[in-house]
Structure 1
Amino acid sequence: MSIPCPHDARPLTIEEAEGHIGHLCETCGGLWLPRQYIESLAHLRNFSAKPFYAAILERPKFRSTIGCPAGCGTLQRKSVKGIDLDFCPGCHGIWFDRGEVAAMLKDYPHTANGGGSSGGDAGDVVDFVLSVLDIFN
């Protein structure tokens, strides 16, 4: 079963970054990250899904114009750290428009155990963001 792009309903392509699976739209450059992907970021970055989702849920919601690629209904648009995220309150997946993944991840450097040779310095963040841009954008 393919997951459709919420903008044009074309099938999303399954892509991998750092061992995690995301769903890329080759047309618009958008990216669907399911809840499991968001939660797995804690293994590689100074990131915890619980406060991240709490920040999303406490923000005022605006009705998005796009549907959940997983079929849950209409997404909610929330502004978090200056990024407008399209969030599904049902499955907790997030739709990122082109470039929004890189913008979000710049605030969450690698953990000391999470890959990269320098233990989470700025070079690791730049390397990761560039790899995300190469793979998902």
Structure 2
Amino acid sequence: MKKLMCPKCIERLRTEQYRHREYRICFYCEGLWLNHAQISEHGILIEKEKIGDTKLSCPSCEDVRLELVSSNGVQVEECPQCHGAFFDKNEIDQFYRNYQSVDSKELAADVTNGVFKMIKFSSTVLGIFRTITRLSP
């Protein structure tokens, strides 16, 4: 499986399982990458408007720049080729508030209540490990 890199901070996106679903998460900036199948399954970003271009690269496609799109008051970066989308942490919160379908609310709740709790725990452990290794003689 191809290692996907976060378009924001260029760290490796981690695959996390929660409620039998896979999520691609950045442990550093707490961003979320959803592929086109996940977006379609949950009925999000159906009606969208392109706002502009970004300098961010798509984690899935090579040499494709993400576009900034707006949908239901939420601005996210979307790939014009594979139609995957990257959500910043604050965009996940907006997404939860603005989307009304049951599927999209369930996805947002899974991410904010389950996946990000795992990230915060893992990030804390990672931070402690880094501190210990720096302090070791």
Distance 1:110 1:39, change over 3 A: same
Q: Where does residue 38 of structure 1 map in the other structure?
A: 39
**Matched-pair contact (CA < 8 Å) for 2:23–2:34:** yes
Q: Secondary structure at the match of 1:86?
A: strand
Q: Where does residue 3 of structure 2 map in the other structure?
A: 2
Output one character per residue of 1:1-57: Cα deviation in whole Å (capped at 9) or x when no partner: 21011123221100123322221111111111111111222xxxxxx35xx33x12x
Query: How many residues of Structure 1 are paired with residues of Structure 2 in the alignment?
Result: 115
CA distance in 2, matches of 1:126, 1:81: 14
Q: Where does residue 86 of structure 1 map in the other structure?
A: 77
**Matched-pair contact (CA < 8 Å) for 1:33–1:95:** yes
The structure with more helix, counted as a fraction of residues:
2
Distance 1:2 1:18, change over 3 A: same
Q: Where does residue 57 of structure 2 map in the other structure?
A: 67
Mapped pair 1:134 → 2:125: no
Q: How does 1:51-66 map to 2 (within 5 A)?
A: 52-53=45-46, 55-56=47-48, 59-66=49-56
Q: Secondary structure at the match of 2:33?
A: strand
Q: CA deviation at 1:89?
A: 1.4
Gaps of 5+ in 1: 42-47, 112-119
RMSD: 2.8
Query: What is the one-letter code of the residue matched to 1:80?
Result: S
Q: Secondary structure at the match of 1:99?
A: helix
TM-score by length of 1: 0.68
Mapped pair 1:110 → 2:93: no
Gaps of 5+ in 2: 121-137
Q: CA deviation at 1:74?
A: 0.3
Q: Secondary structure at the match of 1:60?
A: strand
**Matched-pair contact (CA < 8 Å) for 1:17–1:135:** no
